[in-house]
Structure 1
Amino acid sequence: MVVRHITNASRGTANAWHFYYALVFVITVLCGKLVVALAAP
């Protein structure tokens, strides 16, 4: 039971990190597009 709980906790942490990196990636892409749009005359 304890091992199963640890596995579920680590899985949740991995999902949180994956979500965080995906969010950062999306923001980076959006910021990049915004900079290109502002730089273009």
Structure 2
Amino acid sequence: MGIFHITNASRGTANAWHFYYALVFVIKVLCGKLVVALAAP
């Protein structure tokens, strides 16, 4: 995880992007676990 030094003006946008990437990451992890569960005998 990188640490970004940003201005107050861009902090809201950066937080939105971080939330978006975190949400996508969680979805990928959940889908990956689901696929493994379905693929397991």
Give the TM-score band, short-chain normalised: 0.7 to 0.9
List alignment gaps of at least 5 residues for structure 2. Answer: none
Runs of 4+ in 1 over 6 A off after TM superposition: 1-6
How many Å separate the matches in 2 of 1:17 and 1:25?
12
Aligned-CA RMSD value: 7.3
Percent identity between matched residues is 90
- With over 3 angstroms needed to count, the CA separation of the structure-2 counterparts of 1:9 and 1:36, relative to structure 1, is same
Count of residues in Structure 1 that have an aligned counterpart in Structure 2: 41
User: Which structure would you say has the larger Rg?
Assistant: 1
TM-score of the aligned structures, taking structure 2 as reference length: 0.77
5-14 vs 29-38, greater mean Cα deviation: 5-14
List alignment gaps of at least 5 residues for structure 1. Answer: none
**Greater helix percent: which structure?**
1
